C-alpha cells in the first residue's frame, strides 16, 4: 500500500547530509528540532508500511504513528543511543503498534492481530518459478495466508524489508542471532515446500 505520508530524502535536509545515524540521533536527543524533522520525514513511511501489515486500518495506523513520534519527543532524555535509527524506530513502533491497536479499537482483537502480515508473492519474485500462472499464485498466496503469523512476519522482514539475521533478531526480540537464523530457515523451508507441491501439481497437469 502506498504511504499517505510525505516522501523525503536526505537531499531535503542538507544540514544532515553525510552525518552518521549516531550523530543525527544525538542531535535529536539534544533537542535539535531539525534533527527531529529529519528523522520523522525520513522514516515515517517505513513505519507506516510496518503498521499497515499489523492492521489494515490506515487511519488507526496514522494515529498510532503520530502518537509514537509525540511520545518519542517527550521521552527524549530517556532514549538510548543508536547507530541504526531505522531499526530502532521499527522495533519500538512495532511493539507500540500492537499495544495501541488492542487498546484503541475494540474491533481489532488478538485473533485479528495474529492474522496480520498478509505476505503476497507475485510472478516476478525471485523465488517464484515462471511456470506459475495466476491460478497457482492465488493458491500459493492462500497457502501463505494459512501459515503462522510469526512465519509470515519473518518472511516479510526478510524479503520485503531486506533485514539481516541480526536485524530480525533485534526487531523480534530474539536472545541470539542464531535463533533468528533458525526461525528464518524453518519459515523459508515451509514456504519452499508449499511452492514445490504447487509446482508438482502444475507439472502433473
Question: Whole-prediction pTM value?
Answer: 0.76
Phi, psi (deg, nearest 5) at residue 148:
-60, 145
pLDDT of 13 above 50: yes
Domains 10-114 and 134-204 share a fold: no
Residue 115 CB contacts under 8 Å (≥ 6 apart), including other chains: 145, 149
pLDDT value for 151? 87
In CATH terms, 134-204 corresponds, of 1.10.10, 1.10.860, 1.10.150, 1.20.1070, to 1.10.10
pLDDT of 125 above 90: no
pLDDT value for 6? 55
pLDDT value for 113? 47
Residue 187 to residues 13, 36, 148, 165, 184, Cα–Cα distance (Å): 39, 37, 9, 13, 5
Residues present in the chain in total: 205
pLDDT of 76 above 50: yes
Average pLDDT over residues 191-195: 78
Cell of 3: 504511504
The CATH number of 10-114 is 1.10.1740.10
Q: Where are the alpha helices (DSSP H) in the chain?
A: 21-29, 33-54, 58-74, 85-104, 110-114, 134-145, 149-155, 165-171, 177-204
Residue 202 CB contacts under 8 Å (≥ 6 apart), including other chains: 131, 132, 133, 136
Residue spans per domain, the chain: 10-114, 134-204
User: Sorting pLDDT into bands at 50, 70 and 90, what band is 203?
Assistant: low
Amino acid at each position: 500500500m502506498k504511504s499517505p505520508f510525505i516522501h523525503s530524502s536526505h537531499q531535503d535536509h542538507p544540514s544532515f547530509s553525510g552525518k552518521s545515524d549516531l550523530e543525527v540521533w544525538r542531535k535529536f536527543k539534544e533537542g535539535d528540532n531539525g534533527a527531529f524533522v529529519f528523522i520523522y520525514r525520513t522514516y515515517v513511511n517505513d513505519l507506516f508500511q510496518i503498521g499497515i501489515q499489523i492492521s489494515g486500518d490506515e487511519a488507526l495506523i496514522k494515529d498510532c504513528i503520530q502518537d509514537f513520534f509525540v511520545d518519542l519527543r517527550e521521552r527524549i532524555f530517556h532514549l538510548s543511543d543508536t547507530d541504526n535509527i531505522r531499526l530502532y524506530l521499527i522495533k519500538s513502533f512495532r511493539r507500540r503498534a500492537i499495544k495501541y491497536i488492542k487498546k484503541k479499537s475494540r474491533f481489532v482483537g488478538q485473533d485479528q492481530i495474529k492474522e496480520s502480515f498478509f505476505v503476497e508473492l507475485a510472478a516476478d519474485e525471485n523465488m517464484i518459478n515462471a511456470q506459475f500462472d495466476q491460478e497457482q499464485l492465488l493458491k500459493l498466496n492462500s497457502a501463505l495466508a494459512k501459515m503462522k503469523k510469526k512465519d509470515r512476519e519473518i518472511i516479510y522482514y526478510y524479503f520485503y524489508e531486506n533485514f539481516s539475521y541480526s536485524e530480525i533478531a533485534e526487531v523480534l526480540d530474539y536472545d541470539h542471532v542464531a535463533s533468528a537464523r533458525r526461525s528464518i530457515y524453518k519459515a523459508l523451508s515451509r514456504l519452499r515446500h508449499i511452492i514445490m507441491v504447487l509446482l508438482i501439481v502444475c507439472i502433473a497437469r
